Structure 1
Amino acid sequence: MRGIWLASGLLFLALGGLGVVLPVLPTTPFLLVAAACFARSSPRLHGWLLAHPLFGPPIRDWQNHGAIRPGAKALAVSMMGFVFLASLLIGLPLKLLLAQGLLIGIGAAFVLTRPSGPRG
């Protein structure tokens, strides 16, 4: 079972890495799943991910406080808006736009209602 967790962690780490360079692919959710997988399979990789200067802080914010930093919130919601605008511009059918708008709205509401930092 440890091998499955490790392989899953590596897969989600790779997807998170792709999210760094592809603006429509989220990074942090994949890294959160990778961290959870590594916690069950590889203390070394789990520690490396949490200590990483770029990836570690948002993972620790989420694990310790359920928080998303304001800049990350702004980026996430902006990208959601960009994707929806692009869908409008390419002329997706109304049913798809409605479904996409509903899902983006739910995602944005979730992101915006998370704490922005450690609770005082």
Structure 2
Amino acid sequence: MKKRIKHFLIFSCGWLCVILGIIGAFLPVMPTTPFMILALGCFAETSPRFHAMLLNNRWIGGPLKQWDQTKTVRRRTKIQALIMLIIAFGFSITLLWGHIELQLMLLVLAAVMIGFVLRLKEAEPKYED
């Protein structure tokens, strides 16, 4: 019984991450890649079908395959993520001018996310995207 509950929770978490990743593709403040990587990990544990679906997706499959095989990202992807984070958080912090608490919260969140991206190992893929 516990195994079924664990399976259901991990599987549900995978789909939640996919949904958040899709939302993140349209909202500049939410990242897409970390959510898709989390979904990939959840589905690796619970559903080979959905794991393969993510790896074979024409839009995100290449970077996810690279992550799945080598736990690395392309330098270009890393730079794009950093630029988007800086632009999005800079814009958001500017919009909240005068609300120092909210600005500081966003600044801390931005620092954590930028730190996460900077810690990712880099490598160029050995296959075509």
Distance 2:41 2:105 in 1: 30
Distance 1:92 1:56 in 2: 42
Distance 1:54 1:95 in 2: 37
Residue pair 1:65, 1:118 contacting (<8 A) in 2 also: no
Partner of 1:67: 72
Structure 2: tracts of 5 or more residues without a match: none
Distance 1:109 1:11 in 2: 24
Between the two proteins, the alignment pairs up a number of residues equal to 119
Distance 2:40 2:103 in 1: 33
Rate the CA distance shift 1:74–1:41 in 2: closer, same or farther, 3 A: same
Partner of 1:5: 10
Using the size of structure 1 for normalisation, the TM-score is 0.80
Structure 1: tracts of 5 or more residues without a match: none
Distance 2:112 2:25 in 1: 23
Which stretch of the first structure deviates more once superposed, 18-27 or 80-89?
A: 80-89
Which stretch of the first structure deviates more once superposed, 102-111 or 7-16?
A: 102-111
Partner of 2:36: 31
- Is the partner of 2:88 in helix, strand or coil? helix
Cα shift readout 1:15-34 (whole Å, capped 9, x = no counterpart): 11111222221111111111
Calculate the aligned-residue CA RMSD, in Å: 2.2
Partner of 1:55: 60
Using the size of structure 2 for normalisation, the TM-score is 0.75
Distance 1:98 1:5 in 2: 33
Partner of 1:81: 86
Deviation at 1:75, TM superposition (A): 2.2
Distance 1:33 1:59 in 2: 10
Distance 1:64 1:96 in 2: 39
